Structure 1
Amino acid sequence: MEKKILISAYAISPYKGSEYGAAWNTVINLSSKHELWVLYGMSDDHMGDTQSMRKYLEDNQVPNVHFVEVQPGPIAKAINLLNKAGLGWFFYFAYTLWQQEACKAARKLLLTEDIDVLHQLGPIGYREPGFLYKLGKPLVWGPIGGMMVIDKRLSANKPMMTRFKFGLKNLINRLQLGYSSRIKKAFEYADVLISATRAGQYTIMSRFSRESYYLSEQGIIGKIRLDETKFSSDVARLIWCGTHIERKNLQLCLDALAMVKHSNWQLDILGCGPLTDKLKQYADNLGLSKNIIWHGQLNRTQAIQMMESAHLHIITSIAEDNPAVVFEAMSCGVPSLTIDHHGMGDVINHENGIKVPVNEYPILVKDIAERLDKLFAEPAQLKTLAYTTIARATNFQWDKRLAMLNRAYDEAIMAHEKRTAYLMPDENLIAL
Structure 2
Amino acid sequence: MSQSSSAIFPHLSSKPKVLVIAEAANPEWVSVPLVGWSLANALREVADVHLVTQIRNRDAILRTGLIEGKDFTAINSEAVTRPMYQLGQILSMGKGKGWTMRTAIAAIAYPYFERLVWQKFGAAIKAGDYDIVHRITPLSPTMNSPIARRVTAAGVPFMMGPLNGGVPWPKGFDSERRREREWLSYVRGAYKLMPGRNNTLKAASAILTGSHYTASEIPIQYKEKCFYLPENAIDPTRFNLIAKQDLEGPLHACFIGRLVPYKGPDMLLEAAAGLIQSGKLTLDIIGDGPMIQTLRDQIVKLSLQKSVTLHGWQGHEEVQSIAVQSNLLTFPSIREFGGGVVLEAMALGVVPVIVDYAGPGELVDDEVGYKIPIGSRAQIIAAYRSCLEDIVTDPSALPRLSQNGQERVRNRFTWAAKARQIRQVYNWLMNETKNKPDFF
Normalization by structure 1: what TM-score?
Answer: 0.85
Matched, 1:395 2:412: yes
Q: Deviations over 1:278-327 (max 9, x none)?
A: 22112322232322101111111111112222111122223221132111
Is residue 133 of structure 2 the alignment partner of residue 114 of structure 1? no
- Which letter does structure 1 place at the counterpart of 2:269? L
Partner of 1:11: 24
The answer (yes or no) to whether the contact 1:142–1:193 under 8 Å persists in 2 is yes
CA gap 1:54/1:331 in 2 versus in 1, 3 angstroms: same
Match of 1:145?
164
**AA of the residue aligned to 1:49:** R
Deviates more, 1:24-33 or 1:349-358: 24-33
Aligned residue type for 2:236? G
* Aligned residue number for residue 419 of structure 1: none
Over 3 Å counting, the alpha-carbon distance change for 1:56 and 1:212 in structure 2 is closer
- Residue 37 of structure 1 aligns to which amino acid in structure 2? H
1:195 maps to which residue? 209
**What is residue 7 of structure 2 aligned with on the other side?**
none
The CA deviation string for residues 247-297 of structure 1, in whole angstroms up to 9 with x for no partner, is 322222122113548531111111111221122112322232322101111
The alignment partner of 1:68 has SS state of strand
1:167-182 equivalences in 2 (<5 Å): 168-172=184-188, 174-177=189-192, 179-182=193-196
Gaps of 5+ in 1: 42-47, 416-432
Give the Å deviation of 1:90.
3.0
SS of the aligned residue for 1:181 comes to coil
Report the more deviating stretch, 223-232 or 252-261. 223-232
Question: How many residues matched?
Answer: 402
Cα gap change, 1:63 to 1:388, in 2 (>3 Å): farther
For the 8 Å contact 2:28–2:60, the answer to whether it is kept is no
Alignment partner, residue 304 of structure 1: 320
4+ runs deviating over 4 angstroms: 62-65, 205-211, 223-226, 259-262
CA deviations on 1:124-147 (whole Å, 9 max, x unpaired) are 111113333122220111101114
1:68 paired residue number: 73
The answer for the alignment partner of 1:430 in structure 2 is none
CA distance in 2, matches of 1:62, 1:361: 51
Whole-angstrom distance in 2 between the partners of 1:31 and 1:78: 33
Letter in 1 for 2:202: E
After TM superposition, the score normalised by the length of structure 2 is: 0.83
Partners of 2:221 and 2:249 lie apart in 1 by: 51
Q: Does 1:23 align with 2:33?
A: no
| Counterpart mapping for 1:128-277 below 5 A | 128-134=143-149, 135-136=151-152, 137-153=156-172, 155-156=173-174, 158=175, 161-162=178-179, 165=182, 168-172=184-188, 174-177=189-192, 179-206=193-220, 209-222=223-236, 227=242, 229-231=244-246, 233-260=248-275, 262-277=278-293
**One-letter amino acid of the counterpart of residue 402, structure 1:** A
CA distance in 2, matches of 1:24, 1:339: 28
Identical positions, percent: 18
SS of the residue aligned with 2:246? helix
Gaps of 5+ in 2: 1-11, 93-101, 433-440
5 Å matches for 1:375-394? 375-393=391-409, 394=411
Asked if 1 retains the 8 angstrom alpha-carbon contact of 2:134 and 2:158, the reply is yes
Correspondence for 1:104 among 94, 97, 119: 119
Distance 1:117 1:355, change over 3 A: same
Distance 1:30 1:208 in 2: 25
Identify which range, 254-263 or 385-394, moves more after superposition. Answer: 254-263
Give a deviation string over 1:101-140, Cα, whole Å, max 9, x none: 2333331543677100011101211111333312222011
Is the 1:225–1:390 Cα contact (8 Å) retained in structure 2? no
The Cα offsets for residues 380-411 of structure 1, whole Å up to 9 and x where unpaired, read as: 23223212222322232344322320121122
